[in-house]
Amino acid sequence: MRGRFATVAGIVGLAAGAAVALSPTATATVASAADQAGAAALAPALRRDLGLTAAQVNLRLTQEAAASTLLPAAETAAGAAFAGSWFDNGTLVVGVADAARAEAVRATGALATVVTHSADALDAAKAAIDRQAAAGAPAAVTEWYVDPRANAVVVSVATGARGADVDSFLNQARAAGPIVVAEAAEAPRLFAGDVVGGDAYYINGTARCSIGFSVEGGFVSAGHCGKRGASVTGKDKTAMGTFAGSSFPGNDYSWIETNSSWTPTPTVNGYGNGDVTVTGSRAAAVGASICRSGSTTGWRCGTIQATNATVNYSQGSVSGLTRTNACAEPGDSGGSWVSGTQAQGVTSGGSGNCTKGGTTYFQPVNEILSAYGLSLVTG
Burial class (CB in 10 A: 0-12, 13-18, 19+), 98: middle
Residue 157 lies in a domain: yes
The active-site residue, picked from 333, 336, 339, 348, is 333
- Above 80 in pLDDT, residue 23? no
Looking at the structure of the chain, the number of domains it has is 2
Q: How far apart are CA 11 and CA 341, in angstroms?
A: 32
73 & 101 share domain: yes
**Is the same domain home to 109 and 129?**
no
Q: Which of 169, 187, 205 is the last residue of a domain?
A: 187
Question: Is 137 part of any domain?
Answer: yes
pLDDT at position 116 is 98
Kind and range of the H or E run holding 201 = strand 200-203
Model confidence over 64-96: pLDDT tens digits?
989 999 999 999 999 999 999 999 989 999 999
* Structural domain contains residue 339: no
What average pLDDT does the chain have? 88
| Residue 153, in any domain of the structure | yes
Q: Are residues 56 and 129 in the same domain?
A: no
Residue 27 predicted with pLDDT over 70: no
Q: Choose the final residue of a domain: 56, 86, 114.
A: 114
Return the number of other C-beta atoms located less than 10 Å from residue 69's C-beta. 16
Same domain, 40 and 106: yes
Taking only the tens place, the pLDDT of each residue in 144-173 is: 999 999 999 999 999 988 889 999 999 999
Task: Kindly state whether residues 28 and 60 are assigned to the same domain.
Answer: yes
- Which domain does 95 fall in, by range? 24-114
333 as an active site residue: the answer is yes
Residue 266 within any structural domain of the chain: no
Whether residue 223 is contained in a domain is answered as no
Report the CATH number at residue 78: 3.30.300.50
Which distant-in-sequence residues (6+ apart) come within 8 Å of 303 by Cβ?
Answer: 7, 50, 287, 288, 289, 290, 324, 325, 326
Q: Choosing from 49, 123, 130, 252, which is the catalytic residue?
A: 252
Cα 103 to chain centroid, rounded: 30
Does a structural domain hold residue 294?
no
224 annotated active-site: yes
pLDDT level of residue 192 (50, 70, 90 thresholds):
low
User: Which residue, 187, 215, 234, sits at the end of a domain?
Assistant: 187
Residue 227 gets which letter from DSSP?
-
Catalytic residue among 49, 117, 210, 224: 224
* Same domain as 165, residue 88: no
Grade residue 32 by pLDDT with cuts at 50, 70 and 90.
low
